[in-house]
A and B are shown apart, each in its own frame.
Chain A
Amino acid sequence: MKIAILQFGGTNCDLDVLHVLKDVVGVDAETVWYKQEDLTGFDGVVVPGGFSYGDYLRAGAIAARTPIMNSVKKLAAEGKPVLGICNGFQILTEARVLEGALTTNEYPKFRCHWTNLRVETVNTPFTSKFRKGEIIRMPIAHMEGQFYAEEKTLAELDENDQVVFRYVNENGKVTDAANPNGSLENIAGIVNTSRNIFGLMPHPERASESILGSDDGLRVFESMVDYITENF
């Protein structure tokens, strides 16, 4: 098994993800510079966080239109898992493989702190190791994390069980105070209808070892690796 970690100009969470996959989970992973384009031989992709192309135009807009993203779409069409974290989530929405858009936080400031998340579905290749309704902790670090989608799309996301994580308070309640960026319905992460493309604003790689304050994020990577082992 080998997982690709994409690098664009301005990506900066690539090596953190590489560390977690290689040293903590213990699988083969490799960073792939976006000009390589060919993803043959990889069983999964992580689009890590950062500020690709300076967030020019819109966060993720330029990276989403690079040719390597066609290879990501091809790999996803084979059912292989694709995980987009933070800027990676923005890139996946800009590439239109995930619904909605991520826009400037309701209070337009860079927010970098821990959040409580509620696991809304375990029926994804990324959350099989969680319990439905479980409250977990992961940090966020972003300025454009406000999830927006038209009402119709939001209803479909709910109907199809595509919302994976929501921002909640310590008691697991969806509240405005627990919403760090104004995301509609406190949405922190979603999957596509085929469920093998997952985007989220919080950083699981920054919560994958207890020394960091939480290892809840590790189970996202472990679930993904289990899914690959079972299916490819």
Chain B
Amino acid sequence: MQYQATVRIEQKAGMLDPEGTTAKRALGQLGYQVSSVKTAKLYEIVLEAESAEIAEQKVDEMCQKLIANPIIHNYTIDLKELN
């Protein structure tokens, strides 16, 4: 089976988000007053696996080993089957 995993990586609570803060400031200059801007990274990973469970387990491993840095990031995995 082929699966697509959408991995969303965001910084842990309490960490500075310089890119988000800069975007918020720039929005303010354009006249948009917003309470906060947060940035996150999205990865779409397509892989073959025997089942959804195995696919999710593999992607989780990838996140732990490379895609995310557990010291500074939280991540979520959203899996869907591709036809």
Chains A and B come from one and the same complex: yes
Q: How large is the interface on B (under 10, 10 to 19, 20 to 34, 35 or more residues)?
A: 10 to 19
Q: Is the CB of A182 within 8 A of B71?
A: no
Please tell me the number of chain A residues within 8 Å of chain B, measured between CB atoms: 19
* Contact among B11, B19, B22, B69 with A61 in the assembled complex (CB-CB below 8 Å): B69
**Please, what's the 1-or-0 string for A137-176, where 1 marks a CB less than 8 Å from any CB in chain B?**
0000000001011100000000000000000000000000
Residues of chain A lying within 8 A (CB to CB) of residue B18: 104-108, 146, 182
* Contact among A94, A104, A149, A150 with B19 in the assembled complex (CB-CB below 8 Å): A104
Residues of chain B lying within 8 A (CB to CB) of residue A182: 16, 18
Q: Is the CB of B65 within 8 A of A149?
A: no
Confirm or deny: A57 has a beta carbon within 8 angstroms of a beta carbon on chain B.
Answer: yes
Confirm or deny: B46 has a beta carbon within 8 angstroms of a beta carbon on chain A.
Answer: no
CB distance from B16 to the nearest CB of A (A): 6
Give Cα distance in the complex from A80 to B18, angstroms: 37
Confirm or deny: A76 has a beta carbon within 8 angstroms of a beta carbon on chain B.
Answer: no
Residues of chain B lying within 8 A (CB to CB) of residue A106: 16, 18
The answer to whether A103 and B72 touch (CB under 8 A), given A146-B16, A148-B15, is: yes
Chain A: residues with CB nearer than 8 A to chain B? 57-58, 61, 65, 93-94, 100-101, 103-108, 146, 148-150, 182
